[in-house]
């Protein structure tokens, strides 16, 4: 990984973590912010960084050049919206992995796109299982909160990225296989909107 790419990933990760810490909280309460910020770093780190690195790894597996590039406007919106809306609005479009390959097939494009949401689902399941298995009497509520937020945020990243609207991952997966897309999207939809 080049130093520019690593720097842009870290800037994006920290910016989204700050924004996520303000989202849904009292943005004037710095104590609350500093309590939530470490949880946000872990949740966003596993959700965002693992997602992007999964795209990158699968693209490289198919012989493509792949590199993360941050989007400054998206980062500014992610940072400013929760602050000016007193924690009620959140928008995160930090950037994306740009892929360069002369002969990427529809299947390869779908597999590259699927890598990010699948990674989020796997991480979400791991943290959810830990959340469910750890006895609340042994672990501090802060750790339980961390496990829960990491699981929920990873499931949310997977769901959002599987929405079948270009340029989101879901549009490329659905174009290749509506069945695979539906098997992933609808359980996540039910998780957030029906359960």
Kindly report the three-state secondary structure assignment for every residue of 93-133.
Answer: CCEEEEEECCCCCHHHHHHHHHHHHHHHHHHHHHHHHHHHH
Task: For residue 93, give both structure tokens.
Answer: 């479009």
Task: For residue 152, give both structure tokens.
Answer: 């929920």
Task: For residue 140, give both structure tokens.
Answer: 């501090």
What mean pLDDT do residues 99-128 have? Answer: 95
The whole model's pTM is what? Answer: 0.90
pLDDT band per the 50, 70, 90 thresholds, residue 27? low
**In 10 A of CB 176, how many CB atoms?**
18
Torsion angle defined by CA atoms of residues 79, 81, 84 and 87, in that order, rounded to the nearest 10 degrees: -90
pLDDT of residue 25: 65
Q: Per-domain residue ranges for the chain?
A: 3-193
Q: What's the CA gap between 94 and 113, in Å, rounded?
A: 17
pLDDT of residue 28: 62
| pLDDT, averaged across the chain | 90
What mean pLDDT do residues 173-184 have? Answer: 97
Q: What is the pLDDT of residues 33-51, one digit of tens each?
A: 888 899 999 999 999 999 9
| Active site positions, annotated | 52
């Amino acid at each position: 990984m080049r130093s520019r790419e690593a720097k842009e990933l870290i800037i994006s990760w920290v910016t989204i973590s700050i924004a996520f810490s303000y989202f849904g909280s009292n943005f004037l309460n710095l104590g609350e912010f500093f309590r939530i910020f470490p949880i946000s770093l872990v949740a966003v780190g596993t959700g965002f960084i693992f997602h992007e690195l999964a795209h990158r790894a699968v693209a490289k597996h198919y012989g493509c050049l792949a590199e993360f590039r941050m989007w400054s406007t998206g980062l500014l919106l992610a940072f400013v919206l929760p602050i000016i809306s007193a924690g009620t609005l959140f928008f995160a479009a930090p950037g994306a992995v740009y892929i360069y390959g002369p002969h990427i097939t529809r299947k390869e494009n779908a597999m590259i796109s699927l890598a990010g949401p699948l990674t989020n689902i796997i991480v979400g399941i791991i943290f959810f299982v830990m959340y469910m298995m750890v006895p609340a009497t042994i672990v501090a509520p802060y750790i339980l909160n961390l496990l829960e937020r990491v699981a929920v945020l990873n499931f949310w990243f997977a769901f959002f990225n599987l929405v079948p609207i270009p340029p989101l991952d879901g549009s490329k997966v659905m174009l290749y296989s509506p069945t695979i897309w539906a098997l992933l999207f609808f359980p996540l939809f039910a998780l957030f909107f029906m359960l």
